Amino acid sequence: MAWKLLLSFFWLGLCRAGGLLSPKESPSREVKDLGGLWGFRADWSEQRDAGFAGRWYLQPLRQSGPVMDMPVPASFNEITQDPNLRRFVGWVWYEKEVLPPIRWLQTETRTRVVLRIGSAHYYSIVWVNGVQVTEHEGGHLPFEVEISHLLADAPGEPCRITIAINNTLTPNTLPPGTIQYMPDESLYPKGYFVQNTHFDFFNYAGIHRPVLLYTTPSAYIDDITVTTDLIGNIGLLQYLVSIQGSPRYSVSLTLHDGDGKVVATGNGSAGELKVPNPILWWPYLMHERPGYLYYLKVVLSAEVDGTISEDSYTQTVGFRTIRVTSNQFLINGKPFYFHGVNKHEDADIRGKGLDWPLVVKDFNLLRWLGANSFRTSHYPYAEEIMDLCDAYGIVVIDECPAVGMKDSANFGNKSLQRHLAVMEELIRRDKNRPSVVMWSVANEPASELAPAGQYFKTVIAHTKSLDPTRPVTYVSNAKYNRDQGAPYVDVICVNSYLSWYHDPGHLEVIQLQLNSQFDNWYKTHQKPIIQSEYGADTIAGLHTDPPLMFSEEYQSAVLKEYHAVLDQKRKEYVIGELIWNFADFMTNQGTTRVLGNKKGIFTRQRQPKSAAFLLKERYWKLANESLCLTPPKYDDVCLPSAQQLKRS
């Protein structure tokens, strides 16, 4: 089959770089969470290089100067009352002493110990007991390194982990930025500089996601790649298992349904399983059993130095198909209409730090709202969030951190190589997720610039070579006839803020301009369209009649004007609408922002504005067009238990 040939390239490209399986406990694996309070200090030296000159990593951090407590995960910008630390740009240093269990270090167990950082923004260098073990560029994806050899030298002794993080953005980082120096000492202090960016959210920094130690046997399952297809009533699951640590091994696989029943078995590191009449993974609100997951248990038996050791790992699987036509987005052969939100991983005190109460609250609000999807604007979200999307049936447009690409310098070869590498990391992490239905390779780039055409042609082709099973898009705010990259995407995603940034206050022009926008894009490119952003800043509790800008009434009025056109065009070629934004979020200070972006339909504290009730009524009405559904009551159990994620 042609799709099998395509998948062989998919597997080949991803396996070259090694696996990035999410740490899970099993009979052969243990996980130790290193969250909590870490030692922290910022390098305030003029060149931000005192930590390297003084080799702070060679001794406990407190011996090099004052250290404060810093929670992990969290953004250091939000933790203290120091405004200078809030806007700090440069190197900061984290440190924690950890006592690994002695059983991990016993020679006879042959245990690998791996240090994994879920996300550290932006550039990281890591030392263990003063020895550099790895470095990583990029602030939104995990990275890891084996440290067994360093721990074996001192069994039973604490292990000191030091992480230096630099949040400086340059024209070639993703996202990009520039450093602007202010040399006039009559106006600015000596050495004064600021970080400039072209994106509208605060550049939070620090260790944003969990730091873990986990173990595997010395011969271990390094990666698992699964893809699904449907042929008639047969579900096909192709798999590839990558093994490291021994050339002599056997692999057995059992596929369990959600109730734990074995529905298929297999052997070998590559092959295909067939499941008669599989229960499909459906998006939320499209089926009585949304987010249905199977569990592929992989067991490795390997010979190491004359003895047999075993490793096991359980990979979640969702049977579903995706297809895009010139005017539809099909999931499992049925038209899917995206009615959802754009989000930010923006808590209050944690900044972008993973916050479980906030995560669960947001998913319950999504269900209350009747939203079936969201875009990870404008960077990949935490693995834990993606796990819940798989389990709950929330459809995801998975976006990389290519936001703020507004200058021709952002389209050079250095930027391109970084962009390609980020897409490899993102696909390696999220390739098996049924909730991820499309990759987004950028948000609002200057795609009208001449270099953008070849640039995005290359990025999109590379993304498709890594994963031919999903469509690819990017989100545009360029003119339909000037966008150089639009010919290469599968779905047109358009951001527009009519009667806000354009013709502010004039609600009467929205329908005319929006109709023209859609018709022009479709006539030019003959591809389905998503209204990927629209909205208006709104101060909660501000009311005016007639509706005036920044009032709750104006936000609702803007939405109603958009919805009138969307209801016409979704019968033709518009396949989705994603409100900007789910909740208010923090931005840089500026004269157009009052403590952040206020386009949320919920406040930053997750309280609804009037528009939230308007969208709730609309989204449940859209869901009811194909199914008999009613909005949840306050005493309903909002979501299924996430315990199903732990089934083996």
Q: Give which of 646, 221, 254, 224 is closest to 431, Cα–Cα.
A: 224
**Per residue in 471-498, pLDDT tens?**
999 999 999 999 999 999 999 999 999 9
Are 216 and 112 a contacting pair, CB within 8 Å?
yes
How large is the average pLDDT for residues 79-91?
Answer: 95
Q: Which residue stretches of 394-534 are H helix?
A: 413-430, 452-466, 510-525
pLDDT band at 117 (very low <50, low <70, confident <90, very high): very high
What is the model's pLDDT at position 632? 54
**Per residue in 22-61, pLDDT tens?**
999 999 999 999 999 999 999 999 999 999 999 999 999 9
Distance separating alpha carbons of residues 513 and 304, to the nearest angstrom: 68
Phi then psi for residue 280, to 5 deg, are -80, 150
Domains along the sequence of the chain with CATH: 2-21+218-317 (2.60.40.10), 36-72+74-167+203-208 (2.60.120.260), 322-646 (3.20.20.80)
Are 354 and 626 a contacting pair, CB within 8 Å?
no
Q: How many CA atoms lie within 13 A of 210 on its CB side?
A: 15
Distance separating alpha carbons of residues 7 and 271, to the nearest angstrom: 12
What is the model's pLDDT at position 305? 87
- Whether residue 546 has a cis bond before it, omega within 30° of 0: yes
Burial grade of 79 (CB within 10 A; 0-12, 13-18, 19 or more): buried
Distance separating alpha carbons of residues 240 and 522, to the nearest angstrom: 39
Residue 4 pLDDT > 60, yes or no?
Answer: no
Among 138-152, 172-186, 335-349, where is mean pLDDT lowest? 335-349
What is the model's pLDDT at position 584? 94
144 annotated active-site:
no
What is the model's pLDDT at position 627? 62
What is the model's pLDDT at position 626? 62
Are 314 and 353 a contacting pair, CB within 8 Å?
no
Distance separating alpha carbons of residues 57 and 49, to the nearest angstrom: 13
Residue 18 pLDDT > 70, yes or no?
Answer: yes
Residue 143 pLDDT > 60, yes or no?
Answer: yes
Are 139 and 122 a contacting pair, CB within 8 Å?
yes
Coil, strand or helix at 206: strand
More confident residue, 52 or 351: 52
Q: Give which of 485, 488, 489, 399 is closest to 449, Cα–Cα.
A: 485
pLDDT band at 411 (very low <50, low <70, confident <90, very high): very high
Annotated catalytic residue: which of 30, 383, 399, 444? 444
Phi then psi for residue 272, to 5 deg, are -140, 135
Distance separating alpha carbons of residues 580 and 599, to the nearest angstrom: 6
pLDDT band at 2 (very low <50, low <70, confident <90, very high): very low
How large is the average pLDDT for residues 611-632?
Answer: 82
Residue owning tokens 């550049």: 203
Distance separating alpha carbons of residues 448 and 372, to the nearest angstrom: 32
